[in-house]
Every structure is written in C-alpha cells, then in structure tokens.
Structure 1
C-alpha cells in the first residue's frame, strides 16, 4: 500500500504550495487509519529536501513518485520512490531518508552504526544496509517486479548529515552495502541528482509503481523451507532494522563470551510474527559455522521435526539431532558445557523435565547453567498449557543467581499477518487478552474472514493450498484423539454435524503434501508459519452476556494442556478459571496468527461468530479499498 502517489512535477508543486502535509494526512487517514498532523509533519523536512533533489531540468516532471510504500509481509515502509526509464529499462529508486546529523562506527558488528534515536544514542542499521534490504525484500515478495524486469535501485539521503574527514558513515567496513546502495549527505545534492539521472531519464513504460503497489505477491519463503540453504551457508532471509541490530549484538556477545569465558544471557521479547524463529535459526547457523557447540532448543517437537525433515540428505541424522533439542535435554548438563544454547518459544519451558515432570530442577536454570551464552526468544502471551512456566522474570532471576550478565531486547516489526501490527492488536482486543485501540478497526490488507460452516472453511483452505502447499486447517483441542485411530486418516476425530476430519497423522503435517485435509492443533502448529490458515474454534470459547467466555471442561480428555487444572480447581476455583481462561485465549490467538496472508475462522458457537463479525467494523479486502461494512459486506464475513 502506498500513502501518496503523483508525478515529480505535482509533488514539487504540492511542496511549494505547502499542501503536501494536508494531502498526506488525508491519504493516511483513508488508507491506514488514525494519525496526527504532527506525525505527518515530521516527514515535511525530508520531503522538502527530496523536492529540491527533483528540481532539475534533466529530471522529467512526468516521472512517477510515491511516499511511504508498505513492504509486503512486513510492517516496514519505504520512505520515497522514484520510477522512470533510463532509455532501455524501467527503474525504481528506493530512497531511505534520514534526518541524522552524525553517526559513529560500531566495531565488530556488520552494518551497524550508532546515532541519536529515541532520545538517546543507540545502535541501528547503516542506512545503505536498510535501503538495500528493503529493495531485496520487495524483489523477493513481488512477482510483478521480477516478471516485468523492473530494476530496483536503492540509496540513502541524510540531508542533515555534515560530511567530515574520515567519515565513519562511509568507513570501508560498510563498503559492501554502500556499493549496493550509495549514501548521500548534506551538501551532496548534486551527487544525488546525478545518481538519479543515471536511472531516471524519461517516464517509465510499465507503470512500475503500480506494479509494485498492486503486483502479485508470491508465496513468501518460510523458515522451514529455507533452513537447508541456510545451513549450507546461503542467505535466505534478509534481516532488517532491529532484527539485524539484535543479530549482530548476539554475535558480539557470543564472541565476547568465547574470549573472556564470562556467562551472558540475552532475552529477546517479541509477539507472533516478529521474526524470533528467523533470528534463532540464523544465529544457530552462524555459530555452528564457526565450529562452536550450539543448539536450537524448543519444547514443541513439531518445529524440530519439520526442520529435521528439511535437512535430510544434507548431514547425518545424528548431527541433525544434535542441533535441535527438546527443552528437557539439559537436566544433567555441566556448567558451561555448551558454548551457546538458543531457546525458541521460551515461554513454553517447564519447571521440571521428563514425562512425569519429575526430572531435574528447572529447565530455565539448567539451560543458563549449561551454556556460556544463552539466548531466550519469548512471548508470554503464547503460553498455552498449564505447565508452561517460562517467563522473563524467571530467566532474569536464574541468570543473576548463576552470575550471568542479562541483556534484554524487544522485537516489534511484523513479518506475519501481512505485516500488520493492526490485526494482532485487533485480535488481542477482540479476544479480551488486552485492550488496544483496534477493537473496531483492523485497518490492513490481511485476509480475515468468518465463515458459516466447517465445510466452507476446508474448501477455502484447499483452494489456497493449491498455490504452494502452505495452507492448513487447525482446531482448538475440543475433540478426542483416540489412540487406536491415530494412524487412520479415514477416521474422523472432529465431527460437526455432517462434517468430519482427522487430527494430523504426523508432526511433519505442516509440510506433508497430503495433509491439507487433516487438522493441526496448538501442539503441531506453534512455532511454524503458513500462508493461510483455517481455524475451527470449538466449544471451549463462546460469547455470552456481552463477553468472551472460556470453558476448560469442553477440552478433550486427550489434551494435556490443562493437566492439573482440576486439582487446582478443588483448592482455588477462581485461580483455576483465571489460568484456564488465559491458556484458552492464548491458544486461539496463537492459531489465528500462524498465517502470513490470511486467517479464516469457523466457530461452533453462533454467538461468537456474530461477535467476531460485529467487531470487523472496517475491513480492507483490497488495497486502497477501506469501506464501512454496512456499505459493502465482505464475502464470507459479515452478512
């Protein structure tokens, strides 16, 4: 989605006539949602500088420009775009605008600089790296860019930055990215103009900005599909902005711990789709390639088995098994036995280990004790069983007790749910997990629908799955899983009127070609991602008396998520209800955020279905198309 699109001439006129802020404000309100003119005005200085850049007789007035383009599947935006033709090819310039006045070089961290941000001096990515990765992401996601051979040309313009001798911004350590995305500073406007005129000599022939804005988005790379190439040393995922900052910081901590042999613990907090697993796997790959002993840890076996299946044929099975471990594998680990232990889904850690949770002392403590550097990726809103005990407070407590330095960071950028922070905030509010400003406005291009039957839900998912085998059905654990029928695909565990389907046969259900007609549950879905998901919400969550009601008695007896809750209920029924309510809501939140492109929902409780439809007061089904539901109901959703 693009906030503002015009010709270079009209953009210059809007700037000169001082109407650009008003036009941007109006467009932002229509396409994104609420903002303030003061927020928009913060762009004014940078955009005025870009207007000056384009004030050149050799830059045609009819070439296209655009402001604030949302990169597909992320919450990131390109500041400024110029589209044109060099006489042979259509080119699109990606311009990253910065108001920085200085930057410091950061030693030992690739593509990281230090500058004034958020009221302090902070580390961030080099502007050339940012522009380069943004262009690479657009190319990766946008099939129209590749098909029409539109060349993306990234650069950065720091119009307040004074050039200095031996400038840290252009230090040779950043040359790889500067070569790919040149950086221009204060006083270098003519250099920037010259750069623009290399690629923009006349109007483009393919409506390149329209192609970028409305072009077909190919199925995104998923972590499980890219793992094999990552292990073999090929770059599969571009880490952007704070992802790259945290990755380099983690590597620096790793190098420092290997050097001084001091314990360190890094905690990275982030919601669903913020790239925690991508960071975890990238760190694993980088560290094992340095011949150090590192392991990826997750309680949930599903992602481990998917990753292992993807790596078959690239290394011995024993090697694969040594890379991916369950969280209960360290009860007997000696102090600092491992160089690095990387814990994904750290909120799922248990206190004790073993089938009967009678082994060891505490999984968090054992992991910190067993490694020089421990890295925990955590989202406390994704605790989905009674035994989930991982928490930031507990990690800090054991780290301090074991003499480990603690470093805390937070991921905020969105790489799932079509890059929409709005959808996740809306979902949290609707499920009454936390209050946000998004209950009545989704304000994004994410494909969310409430359907009227499970059969309709399955047909939608089957159709989407034809694109790339990356769409799956999921359900709340409200139907039994009989032991004798667990390998029988013809046996329907989930039965709703005349609809029936089986629970998934294998933990590799996420990638099996024939599993689109099987339903996954929280235990086989958490930690994995898909293009589209269909979620059946069972009787454990209903809508009564104007509120969400959860009922753990409706969970299947074969579900171990709430094992122990009945015992607690005898002593403290209020506390048991409170814990069960949180687990059930977190379960559906987790399931409903597995899809990168869309989520379709069927509710066994009709009142809940109507409530979800009512909450969808505004829905964006197509880019640039924000409409009141009352004016035009969305298909499968709000009728």
Structure 2
C-alpha cells in the first residue's frame, strides 16, 4: 500500500453546516475512529482531537465559545485506524504541532496517550510521518520532525505524557498546593529525571481551563488526578505565579518556550531578583540548587543582592536567594539536585536540609531517567566511575542503545563530534575549567590547545548550544546545564587526575581556572565535590551518546579499565564476507589484486564485501582490508580486518594510513603497499612547498621493524589510499 493510500485528509469549513457536509463520508459518519485538527490561520490557534462520533463531537465544539473562533477543520481518516492508533496519532500531533510553533494549541496538557499497541512502531509511526508530510503540504505544519525533535520548544513543551514517577510527583505537588498545612514542596531528582518538564507541565496545567483537558481515557487508578486538578483549579482560579530560573541562559530558553504556549507568557519566567517585586501565590523554582548566596558575586550582582537583602530585612551574609523565594510566596515548589551544585556561590546543602526538616515542607523523589538513552544503568555507572566504586566484576561498560566511548586521540574525538553534528545535530564539545579564557579579551587567540587541535571557549553565554558556530567551540557547565544534546564530547582537563597509589580521583587546584569556582572554598574536599559535580552534570547531557577525552594520563588509564575505547571492541561480532553488495556492507579488497587507488575501473568480480557491525554510523567512502604481520601490532593485531576511509585530502600527519609506491619494500606486505603511521618533512621554495621526505613509522612491540623513508625521486608515485578508522 502506498503512503497516499494509507489515509485521507479532508478539509472543511468549521461552521454549523459541517455535520451535513460529512454525511456521505464513511469514516467521518460511521462511528469510525479518526483524528481532526481545528485551526484558524489568522489567530494562529489550533485544537487537536480524536473521536468515533464526528458529528456529535463537531456539534459540541461549535457550541464552545473558544473553539467557535476556529474556522477550518482537517479530518484524518483511514481504514487502518483503530482506537489505540487514533489516540496515539492525536497525542503525537499535539506534541509536534506544539513543538512546530506555528500554532498555539487550545488543548490542555493532561491525559495525552502513551501506551503500546499492535504495530505501533512498525506501521503507525510510519503513517504518522506521512501524515506530517501532508500537513506540511497543507500549510498546517512548517518544520520537519527531525528539526522539531532537536528544538527547545519541543523538548520543554508542556505537552508530554508523564511517567509514573512524574505523575506521583505531580500529585504530591498538587496535594501540597491544596493543603493549608503545607507551604514548601521539595522535588528531588538527578540530571535527566524530568524536573524541568514537570515544572512547565504544572505551570500549563494550572493555566488551562478544565474543559480543555482530556480525561476520557483515564483508567480507574488515574481518576484521582482529575479530581485533584478540579480542586486545585477551584482554589487557584487566577493565581499569581512565576517560574524562577537562576541561570540567565536557561531562563531565556524557557521564556521563549512560554511565549509559544497558549495561556503562558514569557514574562512568567523570571530571575530570583524579580521575585522581590511582588507577592506570589505559587512560585516554582527550577534548578534551585543554583540559587545564590553572597559569595564570589561580581560588583553589579553584589550591589543588587545587598539592596534586595535590605529591602527584605534579611542578613546579607547569612541569608540567600532561597530566603527571597520563601518570603515572597504563599507556596513554593523547589526542583532540586544537590549533585548539580557546582560553585561556592550556590546555596548550601545545609540550607535545603533545614527546609526539608520543616513541618510545612513536603517531599517527592524523581528516579526515572528521561534524557540519556543509556538509562539509569549509565547514570549509576557515572556515579561509580567518579567515586571510584565500580564493582570489580563490572568490566567494560556495555550498552546496545547508548554510544559511550573513550578517545585516545583528541583530534579523533573532535572529528567524530562533527560527524554526529552532521547526522543528528546538537553535538557539542564541553570541558572542565582547566584552561584560561584568553579569547574573551583577544578573540584571535585560542584557549584550548591539545596536540594540533586549537579551539576557543564559547563566544556567547546565552543559548550557546543553539548559537551559530558553536560546533567549532567548547562549552562549559554554565552554557550547558539544563540543556539536552544528542552527543556530548566531554574533555577532562588537567585539573582532575587519578592517584594510582590511593586509588582516588584527585584535584589539581592550580590547574582549575574558574576564579569564582574556587575562591572562598572552605576546604580541598569541597572543591573536589564541586568539580566532580561539574563532570557528573556534563556527562549527562548527551541523549544518544557521550564521548570522552582525558588529558591526564593516569586518569585516562583508570577510565580505560571501564570505558570502551574508540576504534577498539572486545565484543566482536562475526565478520561476514559476501560477493554480493548490501546496504550495510562495504568493499573488501585483497591487497594482492587491488588496483593501487581502488578505482572504479575494477570489476565487481574482483571485490568481496564485508558486513559492518550494527553500531557503525558514518559508512561513506569506507573499505576494508586484511592486515597481516606484526609491524603495527600495538594498534592492529596480526590478521585483523580493518576499516579505512578513502583519502580525499587534508593533513595526514600522525594518522595511520594505507599507502602505495613502487619504492615501498614492506616486510609484511611485500612491494607497493604498507600500513604505517604517517609523518612528513616539508621544504618551502619560491614555487611553493613540497615534501622533502615522508616517514612511515611502524607501531610494533618488535624492534626489528624500522621506519620506511621516502625521499626525492621515490616520492613521485607515492599515494595515500586510505586513512585507518578502526579494527573490526
């Protein structure tokens, strides 16, 4: 069945004549489940629904004052639809239309479907993708699904299906907001447990009319939530509310999200200093572990801080922004993670502990992991790795759904992050504060120099992840905390090491260059905890994967015991050779018969194909060869089948290459071909530069292997055929 035959989308005017117009349509008029979109192109508002009785549902909507302002309806019908499928498509349309940002939705955000059913992924997700393409054709949707998946508007949209953890947290919060004997609510949760999503969801929930909620699909065990919402709405019909976000960059991001959500406003997202301007019924505080006290603040921030303290009658040396929230709100909800406190200016754990012990404080714990695809296993492993408590029986971390790799070449990691950026977008480099910010005063200077790679810190602190050119820069904790990436390339600097004698991670304070992060530190253990919290936090940014490069050799050796290395795999899949090409196969050449440049002039009969492992990503221009001999056994074991990428230009120095030349005499490969590490010496003349000599170095445990040196006339037909990628 063609995609065009899977469903129909019919457009009607949304008015009192609509029920008569759909009389002759079998799906619209015969108790068949379908999905619909009401919209108005001038107001840019829409409503998404599903029903098995289109006539009755449209009459209901036509009697609704808010929906009367909508002017057209798109009806989505199919012989393949069932009730589960239409609920799922309705839910996806709500989520993606909200993330698309072209329309503001009149829908409430409670009751979105999220359940499994037959052929959900195999059939109905494909149908939804085709529906989305048609809606783009009709002008209802503007952006691709991939673009929306990577957008902040989609990630932080209030239109989410909540997990059981989040529903329990939501109930705890609502009960606390309703109860007269509860003032403060403390929602604990690690990075990626959905604290921000829950905060935004709650904000939208309180600002939505009851009639816009979809409670029809709630089961018996879920009936308490609609009842709680009804009581909450009665108690707070028009509450004075604010979402406080301490970090300026993340605050701007969430303000932009609020601007695109019906009934919410950008002005509802504020900084801590704005709280003191008026009294609030309800204040939600996201990332509350980043609220500040009077330590290491800049001159301007210190003045504002002191002025606010005087206005509120507080002690500027003992109290903090936490106290501002408590004084200016009837009810306060704090979303908190002690392990994301990263500098001395953050409110102390002890202050939150005192809040926790108050009789009018209620608590809830979020445990499920929503950000990283590695799930709670990956989160627990990171905790164990940085606390040096990985069980002896653990071995190398393995995940079939999460790409977690240790790189021994910084250039390789940078290259792989750029490839992931091309494939998925939102792949970024992040580092600890082991380098001074030189480029802040001199933009032409580089901050981070590792080997031949030179990079600069982030040029902007506001929404850096989405800024132009960020793929060429390195972010820090302040520009990434709270954000999601698809891939994170984390650079461990020389401020963090590993003591092989005490078997403990140690901090080199002299190599830590965040002045505000180490001034006023009370003891070495406090700095140790702050820096580990920084790395824990940035190691939990990547949704699809995390790459690591470690500057300190002792720490790198420690990590190598537990993290799989790039280009090396212990769990080898069986290598299959075939004579027939396949979409997941690449050419396998026998060096004895291959043409020197592996040209297209070869016939298919001269080539075999090797099937690639399931976790291979970028396969463009790859080919495989079998490497025999011991001249490269430090990297490539004898008899290995290796992947190479066809050489198309660029620097080759320090890379392992497959090269050919008539002058090559290689003990392992015989004449013409060799696999070695490349280096060259160039000379410059009036005619330009040229190679004086090329040195091809063995990487062997056996000293009998010597470099191959090519000079002058022997360079005439020298050719690099491919760059080594990895051992299969």
Are the equivalent residues in 1 in contact too, given 2:244–2:285 (CA < 8 A)?
A: yes
Structure 1 CA distance for aligned equivalents of residues 190 and 570 of structure 2: 22
8 Å CA contact 1:219, 1:468 repeated in 2? no
Contact 1:429 1:438 in 2 (8 A): no
1:47-96 deviation per Cα after TM superposition (whole angstroms, max 9, x unaligned): xxxxxxxxxxxxxxxxxxxxxxxxxxxxxxxxxxxxxxxx98599999xx
CA distance in 1, matches of 2:251, 2:508: 31
Residue pair 2:283, 2:329 contacting (<8 A) in 1 also: yes
Which structure 2 residue ranges, 5 or more long, are not aligned?
1-77, 86-109, 131-144, 209-236, 310-315, 574-612, 616-635, 644-724
Q: Do the aligned residues in 2 keep the contact of 1:425 with 1:436 (CA within 8 Å)?
A: no
Q: What is the alpha-carbon distance in structure 2 between the residues aligned to residue 424 and residue 311 of structure 1?
A: 30
The correspondence for 2:114, drawn from 128, 133, 137, is 133
CA distance in structure 1 between the partners assigned to 2:536 and 2:404 by the alignment: 13
Partner residue, 2:410: 454
Give the aligned partner of residue 586 of structure 1.
533
Q: CA deviation at 1:397?
A: 2.6
1:555 alignment counterpart: 512
Q: Distance in 2 between matches of 1:634 and 1:524?
A: 39
Pairing partner for 1:147 from 126, 129, 132: 126
Match of 2:463 in 1: 508
2: CA distance, partners of 1:584 / 1:437: 25
* Structure 1: tracts of 5 or more residues without a match: 1-86, 95-127, 152-216, 569-575
Structure 1 partner of 2:478: 523
Give a deviation string over 1:523-548, Cα, whole Å, max 9, x none.
11111111110111100111232332
For the residue of structure 1 that corresponds to 2:464, the secondary structure is coil
Separation in 2, partners of 1:266, 1:544? 41
Query: Following the alignment from structure 1 to structure 2, what is the Cα–Cα distance between the partners of residues 149 and 282?
Result: 24
CA distance in 2 between partners of 1:294 and 1:252 (Å): 17
Distance 2:509 2:520 in 1: 12
| Cα distance change of structure 1 residues 605 and 483 upon mapping to structure 2, 3 Å threshold | closer
Give how far 1:223 is off. 7.6
Q: Which residue of 2 aligns with 1:281?
A: 200
Q: Pick one of 320, 325, 329 that aligns with 1:362.
A: 320
Structure-2 change in CA distance of 1:400 and 1:366 (3 Å): farther
Give the secondary structure class of the aligned counterpart of 1:596.
strand
Total equivalences in the alignment: 418
Instruction: Please name the residue that 1:542 is paired with.
Output: 497
Shift of 1:288: 4.3
> Matched residue of 1:501: which SS?
strand
Distance 1:508 1:532, change over 3 A: same
Q: Specify the alignment match of 2:166 in structure 1.
A: 243
Secondary structure of 1:601's aligned partner: strand
| Separation of aligned partners in 2, 1:325 and 1:621 | 52
With over 3 angstroms needed to count, the CA separation of the structure-2 counterparts of 1:314 and 1:389, relative to structure 1, is closer
- Confirm or deny: 8 A CA contact 2:156 2:200 kept in the other structure: no
- Residue 434 (structure 2) pairs with residue 498 (structure 1): no
1:590, CA displacement in angstroms?
0.6
Query: Whose Rg is larger?
Result: 2
Q: Within 5 A, what are the aligned runs for 1:39-58?
A: none
Number of the residue aligned with 2:354: 397
Q: How far apart are residue 497 of structure 1 and its match?
A: 2.7
Please report the RMSD computed on the Cα atoms of aligned residues, expressed in angstroms. 4.2
CA drift of 1:244 comes to 1.6
Q: Distance in 2 between matches of 1:291 and 1:420?
A: 39
1:280–1:483 Cα change, 3 Å = same
1:442 paired to 2:397 = yes
| Aligned equivalent of 2:269 | 324
Higher normalized contact order (CA 8 Å, seq sep 6+, divided by chain length): 1
Native 8 Å contact 1:442 1:619 kept in 2: no
User: d(CA) in 2 for partners of 1:145 and 1:416?
Assistant: 24
Matches within 5 A, 1:411-450: 411-432=366-387, 440=395, 442-444=397-399, 445-450=401-406
Higher share in helix? 1
Q: What's the TM-score, normalizing by structure 1?
A: 0.57
Taking a change above 3 Å as real, the CA distance of residues 276 and 637 of structure 1, as seen in their structure-2 partners, is farther
CA distance in 2, matches of 1:491, 1:499: 13
Contact kept? 1:451, 1:457, Cα under 8 Å:
yes
Aligned to 1:160: none
CA distance in 1, matches of 2:450, 2:383: 27
User: In the aligned structure 2, how far is the partner of 1:611 from the partner of 1:90?
Assistant: 54
Q: Of 225, 246, 252, which aligns to 2:153?
A: 225
One of 422, 426, 431 as aligned partner of 1:466: 422
Say yes or no: does 1:485 pair with 2:453.
no
* Bigger Cα displacement from structure 2, 584-593 vs 465-474: 465-474
The superposition leaves residues 378-417 of structure 1 with CA deviations (integer Å, 9 ceiling, x where unpaired) of 11111111222243x523534776xx72111101111122
CA separation of 1:418 and 1:562: change in aligned 2, threshold 3 A: same
Output the CA distance in 1 between the equivalents of 2:542 and 2:510.
28
C-alpha distance in structure 2 between counterparts of 1:269 and 1:637, whole Å: 42
Asked whether the 8 Å contact 1:449–1:601 carries over to 2, the reply is yes
CA contact (8 A) 2:438 2:445 kept: no
